[in-house]
Structure 1
Amino acid sequence: MIVGSAGSPCTSWQQSIPVASVAVGTPPSSDAEQPGGNAGGKCARDYRHGVSDLHDRRFADLDVGLFHDLLRLRVDVFVVEQACAYPELDGRDVEPGTRHVWIGGGNGDPVAYLRVLAEADGSHRIGRVATRTDRRGGGLAGRLVDHVVASTPGRLVLDAQSQLEDWYLAKGFVRTGDEFTEDGIPHVPMAWGD
């Protein structure tokens, strides 16, 4: 059982995001309180697999230092590496329905990340999928996407960089529209589920 900061079972998390079918890890074995507590009625959730930890948390469950590290990874990949000068801070990270999902390396620093936005139409949008350059090729982004697919009810949507379309197709996503250019990079809209 996972418990919130007040010591009560986290049934609100379990009702909103089923975890029984999560294939990328197992829930922590301890009944101890989870980091971040139960702010906003949602529980922080961590999954163990190997030497890395997969974390799935709402903004209210993040401390300032951790949020900085997550944003730094995103900026390093999208703004610096891909040379996309765009407003990385779009205001959606702090929305109550936004989930921040990442894998921490051996020292706890984020090495792979994505966010899930709750959209007005009831779908969930995957975005900002980023892996640190020295950790690419190890399946970390795949673990994150697999976790989100397994733990998110309903329809998932994303705008994949065109070079990654086949990767998302292999994960069960389907293309839903024509290619378009965003920040100078070709993308395709894709979806999974209902």
Structure 2
Amino acid sequence: MITWQLKPFIELTTIQLYQLLKLRVDVFVVEQQCPYPELDDKDHKKGVYHLLGYDGDQLVACTRLLPKGVSYPSVSMGRVAISADHRGGGIGHQLLAEALRNCQSLWPNESIEIGAQEYLTSFYTQHGFVKTSETYLEDDIPHIDMKLAK
């Protein structure tokens, strides 16, 4: 059973911040072998929230929710990560459903734009997102822009 917490940056404990950054680096930098600027100055911007999914005291899933104008003209989500040992059991779908619910609560009736890794296109499509761009490379990984219109 995953326990979800939604927090702005200022409310993250030092342990939570460490766990969050470690999970993201483990997935995006180490596992995907992609050195990229993980600390992009968006985590602490006004209105940004971090959705944390815990299995006991272990952080196993996370994403950040961003207000309009931080990454896209619309509300957006990014840095969606699931620990390798918790994949395949539906936690990704739970994370996305929880993220969408929280976006709706924070920013009612707003569209959501994302830059998804291309191999996850069908995953996001299952949640109502549609492609809005051709494939492009970001940090040498194929991505595609997608949008959930409201």
Q: TM-score if structure 1 supplies the norm length?
A: 0.70
Residue identity matched to 1:57: K
| Residue aligning to 1:113 | 62
The structure with more radius of gyration: 1
- Which of the residues 58, 66, 75 maps onto 1:124? 75
Aligned pairs for 1:20-99 (under 5 A) are 51-99=1-49
- Which of the residues 147, 150, 162 maps onto 2:101? 150
Q: Which has the higher strand share?
A: 2
* Bigger shift: residues 179-188 or 115-124: 115-124
| Residue aligning to 2:149 | 193
Is residue 6–residue 51 contact of structure 2 (8 Å, CA) maintained in 1? yes
| Residue aligning to 2:86 | 135
Is residue 162–residue 187 contact of structure 1 (8 Å, CA) maintained in 2? yes
Is residue 28–residue 34 contact of structure 2 (8 Å, CA) maintained in 1? yes
TM-aligned CA deviation for residue 117 of structure 1: 1.3
Which structure has more relative contact order (CA 8 Å, sep 6+)? It is 2
Q: Which has the higher helix share?
A: 2
| Residue aligning to 2:129 | 173
- Give the SS at the match of 1:73: helix
Cα distance in 1 for residues equivalent to 2:101 and 2:62: 16
Cα distance in 2 for residues equivalent to 1:103 and 1:133: 14
TM-aligned CA deviation for residue 119 of structure 1: 2.6
Where in structure 1 do 4 or more consecutive aligned residues deviate above 4 Å?
Answer: none
Deviation digits for residues 64-99 of structure 1 (CA, Å, limit 9, x no counterpart)? 111111110000000111011111000110112111
Cα distance in 2 for residues equivalent to 1:112 and 1:148: 11
- Give the SS at the match of 2:28: helix
- Give the SS at the match of 1:119: coil
Give the percent of matched residue pairs that are identical in Structure 1 and Structure 2. 38
Residue identity matched to 1:125: S
Is residue 4–residue 54 contact of structure 2 (8 Å, CA) maintained in 1? yes
Is residue 113–residue 141 contact of structure 1 (8 Å, CA) maintained in 2? no
Residue identity matched to 2:101: A
Number of equivalences: 143
Is residue 63–residue 99 contact of structure 2 (8 Å, CA) maintained in 1? no
Gaps of 5+ in 2: none
Residue identity matched to 2:145: P
TM-aligned CA deviation for residue 122 of structure 1: 5.7
Q: TM-score if structure 2 supplies the norm length?
A: 0.90
- Give the SS at the match of 2:142: strand
